[in-house]
């Protein structure tokens, strides 16, 4: 069974636009600012990487796109446009027609995302029946096909098994099959290879790329692994403490990292050529979303910060070639070009 073909947007027109997104959570200790003015675009057939430490707002941004955060306590401001339609303005019935159909998401934890009392085949088939009006037998055949596509052995038998009967890697592949069952326009992959060994990780990334080429699908790849970014992404957004601190084409980012946080992330990557047995580390912690915000959020951990960095918040500035960075030290020319990562 083939999903219905969808018209692709005109050349240069984005599939998905996140525009000045703010996410606040009302707590007993005050408002927690999880996402603070993030903007990015996703184009058909292209992969946008979103990278940063845990607690930087990557997953909250993704959950906001699909309107999966309960409101309250969450409060969303800004716009999330799918082909020009602002998803934040739609009612719940309209969002249900979009979730799992036009936009799908691969979640980090398959055991908390899959229903433990339904077979994996039935869970995939129900998504197909809901969004594509397929009959029971046709939807189950599609479910088996999807399990085969993600390289699960004996897919007909595995379709009748429950999540707890599968290994962690197999459960993750079931999540990918579930997300791709309706041929979405946009796929959000939140750490999609976390539970997998390196061989299976490479297979899954290859699978996503192949399906992306076939479907013209836009992909948001959320990860902390810069190796995955280098191999899978066309463009990269670096997030820190809920803000976008750098954005560039992937090759430009690795050739010319500008923000001190991006440089610190790259310096902490293991390298086959490094002469030191000890990896570089970033001192300190990501600030709490409850903390008062003044100046650059990275200033307390940054060796290049000065008085201006602690008093003012830098805006994203274009450094040429579509490479943007939010850093006063870069704007003022106080940072020398980064040397080779293994130097």
Q: Which tens digits make up the pLDDT trace of 76-109?
A: 999 999 999 999 999 999 999 999 899 999 887 7
pLDDT > 60? residue 324: yes
Give yes or no for a cis peptide into 301 (omega within 30° of 0). no
How far apart are alpha carbons 328 and 308 in whole angstroms?
A: 8
pLDDT at 130: 86
Of the candidates 240, 231, 283, the residue with the CA atom closest to the CA atom of residue 262 = 240
Cβ-defined contacts of 294-297 (< 8 Å, 24+)? 296/326, 296/327, 296/328, 297/240, 297/241, 297/242, 297/243
- Positive or negative, the CA dihedral 160, 163, 165, 168 is positive
- Return the higher-pLDDT residue of 108 and 62: 62
What span, in angstroms and rounded, lies between the C-alpha atoms of 227 and 204?
A: 14
- Alpha-carbon distance of 16 to 244, in angstroms, equals 17
Q: What is the pLDDT of residue 342?
A: 40
Share of the chain above pLDDT 70, in %: 92
Task: Provide the pLDDT for residue 313.
Answer: 93
Sign of CA dihedral 324, 325, 330, 335: negative
Where do the domains of the chain lie, and which CATH numbers do they carry?
Answer: 16-233 (3.40.50.300), 239-331 (no CATH)
Task: Indicate the helix (H) or strand (E) that contains 137.
Answer: helix 136-149
Residue environment code for 205-237, b if the CB has 16+ CB neighbours within 10 A, otherwise e? bebbeebbeebbbbbbbbbbbbebbebbbebbb
Phi then psi for 232, rounded to 5 degrees?
-115, -20
The predicted pLDDT at position 273 comes to: 61
Q: Dmax over Cα atoms in the chain, in whole Å?
A: 66
């Amino acid at each position: 069974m083939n999903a219905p073909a969808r018209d692709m947007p005109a050349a240069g027109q984005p599939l998905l636009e996140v525009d000045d997104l703010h996410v606040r959570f009302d707590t007993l200790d005050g408002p927690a600012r999880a996402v603070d003015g993030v903007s990015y675009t996703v184009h058909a057939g292209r992969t946008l990487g979103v990278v940063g430490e845990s607690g930087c707002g990557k997953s909250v941004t993704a959950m906001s796109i699909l309107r999966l955060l309960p409101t309250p306590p969450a409060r969303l401001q800004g716009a999330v446009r799918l082909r020009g339609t602002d998803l934040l303005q739609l009612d719940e019935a309209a969002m249900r027609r979009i979730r799992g159909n036009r936009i799908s998401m691969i979640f980090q934890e398959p055991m908390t995302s899959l229903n433990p009392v339904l077979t994996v085949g039935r869970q995939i088939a129900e998504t197909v029946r809901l969004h594509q009006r397929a009959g029971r037998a046709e939807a189950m055949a599609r479910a088996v096909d999807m399990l085969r596509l993600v390289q699960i052995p004996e897919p007909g038998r595995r379709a009748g098994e429950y999540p707890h009967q599968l290994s962690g890697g197999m459960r993750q592949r079931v999540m990918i099959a579930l997300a791709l069952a309706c041929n979405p326009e946009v796929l959000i992959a939140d750490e999609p290879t976390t539970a997998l060994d390196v061989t299976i990780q490479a297979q899954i990334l290859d699978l996503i790329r192949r399906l992306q080429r076939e479907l013209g699908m836009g992909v948001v790849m959320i990860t902390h692994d810069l190796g995955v970014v280098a191999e899978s992404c066309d463009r990269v957004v670096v997030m820190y403490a809920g803000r976008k601190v750098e954005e560039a084409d992937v090759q430009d980012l690795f050739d010319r990292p500008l923000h001190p946080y991006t440089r610190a992330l790259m310096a902490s990557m293991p390298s086959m050529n490094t002469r030191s047995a000890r990896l570089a580390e970033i001192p300190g912690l990501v600030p709490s979303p409850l903390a008062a915000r003044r100046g650059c959020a990275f200033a307390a951990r940054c060796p290049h910060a000065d008085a201006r960095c602690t008093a003012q918040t830098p805006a994203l500035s274009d450094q040429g070639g579509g490479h943007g960075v939010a850093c006063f030290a870069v704007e003022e020319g106080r940072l020398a070009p980064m040397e080779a990562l293994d130097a």
